[in-house]
Amino acid sequence: MVLRIAIQSKGRLFEESMALLGEAGIKMNNIKRTLLIPAKDFPVEVLFLRDDDIPQAVATGVADIGIVGENEFVEKNEVSDIIKRLGFSKCRLSLAIPKDENYSDIKWFEGKKIATSYPHILNKYMQENGVKSEIHVISGSVEISPSIGLSDAIFDIVSSGGTLVSNRLKEVEVVMRSEALLIATKGLSQEKRDILDELIFRIEAVQSAEGKKYVLLNAPEDKLDEIFDILPGMRSPTVTPLATKGWCSVQSVIEDKRFWEVITKLKASGAEGIIVLPIEKMIL
């Protein structure tokens, strides 16, 4: 029994999806120019598709599961189960207008022409806000539409906003925020569900370790309570007595973003021999 997973064939979502699978111990050879390839040492095969084909492939059972951008999942409006939000490939779908236009509220779009590759999401948003606009469906290079007179505004993916700036556009309404989703076809067999559960277990072990460091240090026993306040671990720090009387070894996990703040406080509290290690996986 093999679980088939659909993944975008190129782009940032492809790279991040393959990196996640690799970290989860699911590796493949010869992925270039191959539509369907099996994983090594794990009952999964990967089907490479266009991002906008993945929702239908999963909904119809061509693939058992898929990693897809939430924007494409919502736009295609196919029936599948959302298994897990993956937290990467984040972006937003926004309305943008020419930089020199004055903008007050959503009513600005009344009667305007809007170019987009996401007509379903845009139409729903406009209906919810009581605005009637002309929606022009375009595939690719949506951002140039206002400059060539094809539309008054655009509705498109925004990541950093650099593309808008280079085309003299400004973002005025964020309609939805998107990230990568793990989706599954309805009615998976128990055998395939078991494989999926193991895959989710591995993914969560990888993601739990992201942005965290493992810290080992020596500390005097009379300073332990103070150090515990600095080092909140998964539940509590691990403490082991040392051969030197009155001293202990302390082990814990800290967030990378607080690294220097925590280390400074530990030193001030009498900690010595501090060792910091990266974490590849963390099983909670």
Q: How far apart are CA 56 and CA 63, in angstroms?
A: 9
Q: How far apart are CA 174 and CA 157, in angstroms?
A: 10
Which tokens is 101 given? 């236009």
pLDDT 10s digits, 11-35: 899 999 999 999 999 988 766 667 8
Q: CATH number for the domain including 246?
A: 3.30.70.120
DSSP 231-253: ---SSS-EEEE-SSTTEEEEEEE
Domain assignment present for residue 253? The answer is yes
pLDDT at 230: 86
pLDDT at 162: 84
pLDDT at 71: 96
pLDDT at 235: 63
Same structural domain, 15 and 76: yes
Same structural domain, 85 and 198: yes
Domain assignment present for residue 284? The answer is no
pLDDT at 135: 95
Per the structure, the complete domain to which residue 252 belongs is given by 211-278
Q: CATH number for the domain including 36?
A: 3.40.190.10
Per the CB < 8 A criterion, the answer to whether 117 and 137 are in contact is yes
**How many residues make up the chain in this entry?**
284
Residue with tokens 């897809």: 68
Of 189, 208, 227, the last residue of a domain is: 208
DSSP lists the bridge partners of residue 134 as 113
Residues 6+ apart with CB under 8 A from 178: 69, 70, 71, 74, 89, 90, 91, 92, 93, 157
SS (HEC) of 133-150: CEEEECCCCHHHCHHHCC
Same structural domain, 43 and 171: no
Same structural domain, 199 and 216: no
Residues 6+ apart with CB under 8 A from 276: 213, 214, 215, 259, 263
Q: How far apart are CA 119 and CA 17, in angstroms?
A: 26
Same structural domain, 218 and 200: no
Domain assignment present for residue 283? The answer is no
Same structural domain, 198 and 63: yes
Same structural domain, 193 and 57: yes
Per the CB < 8 A criterion, the answer to whether 231 and 250 are in contact is yes
pLDDT at 243: 86
pLDDT 10s digits, 187-203: 999 999 999 999 999 99
Per the CB < 8 A criterion, the answer to whether 74 and 51 are in contact is no
Same structural domain, 40 and 63: yes
Q: Are strands 238-241 and 44-49 parallel, antiparallel or unpaired?
A: unpaired
Same structural domain, 80 and 11: yes
Same structural domain, 51 and 165: no
Q: CA-CA distances (angstroms) from residue 7 to 11, 148, 239?
A: 11, 34, 44
Domain count, the chain: 3
Same structural domain, 185 and 167: no
pLDDT at 163: 86
Same structural domain, 78 and 196: yes
Domain assignment present for residue 246? The answer is yes
Mean pLDDT in order along the chain per 10 residues (284 residues): 94 93 86 80 93 96 97 96 95 94 94 96 96 91 90 91 89 96 96 96 90 89 88 73 89 86 90 88 76
Which one-letter DSSP state was computed for residue 23? H
pLDDT at 32: 65
Domain assignment present for residue 119? The answer is yes
Task: Select from 209, 251, 211, 206 the least CA-distant residue to 233.
Answer: 251
DSSP 210-225: TTEEEEEEEEEGGGHH
